[in-house]
Amino acid sequence: EVQLVESGGGLVQPGGSLRLSCAASGFTFSSYAMHWVRQAPGRGLEYVSAISSNGGSTYYANSVKGRFTISRDNSKNTLYLQMGSLRAEDMAVYYCARERGGHYYDRWGQGTLVTVSS
Amino acid sequence: QSALTQPPSASGSPGQSVTISCTGTSSDVGGYNYVSWYQQHPGKAPKLMIYEVSKRPSGVPDRFSGSKSGNTASLTVSGLQAEDEADYYCDSYAGSNNYVFGTGTKVTVL
């Protein structure tokens, strides 16, 4: 069974840093591009970042460019999101999602909540 | 990249049909056949319902269908059931590894 399990969320002060992880199982992780998508409380979904299957290419939404870094360790079947210079508007549930070739997400994790507050 | 425009809400009685629109531009919805739709129940992760405009993943009832005309995509839920009450989001590829979601539509089963 395909599973994506996020972890690492929590309370962080404005300007602080946090690293999210997404542990994948049940599929060949190294064969798929992976994404982070977030959802602020009571708001819609927002694309955050993506990484190619081999980690050689990374992409970011303008809202996080220069502050967040996406990476992956295919030997550990794990996706990461290093978040820095966090702002109140970064507060959200962060989901990892598996991308299919037709540019859609066929599997999602359960999400991890990031709270940015002093 | 601006979010795709969806109506905030839609509703229908059990057994009826409801159609949700998703309006973008020629740079996203109109430019690619890579529109997908996701269902999200409160407190849950999104679930893929439609991909590549009109394809349905295995396990998704055929009551769900998708289409596209110009810069507007649509999701139709036929034969509404109580469990269809949820938020629905469209998503489109926008080129150069950019993706844009819709604003979301809350579907209520009356």
For position A58, what pLDDT does the model report?
Answer: 95
pLDDT tens digits along B11-60: 999 999 999 999 999 999 999 999 999 999 999 999 999 999 999 999 99
Q: Does A102 touch chain B (CB under 8 A)?
A: yes
Residue B2 pLDDT greater than 90, yes or no: no
CA distances from A39 to A76, A94, A106, B21 (A): 26, 7, 17, 21
**One-letter amino acid of A76:** K
Question: Among partner residues B51, B99, B104, which is closest to A44 by beta-carbon distance?
Answer: B104
Taking residues A60-73, report their average pLDDT: 96
Residue B105 pLDDT greater than 90, yes or no: yes
For position A102, what pLDDT does the model report?
Answer: 81
User: Would you call A44 and B89 a contact, using CB atoms and an 8 Å cutoff?
Assistant: yes
Q: How confident is the model at residue A83 (pLDDT cuts 50, 70, 90)?
A: very high
User: Would you call A104 and B97 a contact, using CB atoms and an 8 Å cutoff?
Assistant: no
A12-16, B82-86, B97-101: least confident range: B97-101
Angstrom distance (rounded) from CA A2 to CA A25: 6
Residues 6+ apart with CB under 8 A from A44: B3, B89, B101, B102, B103, B104
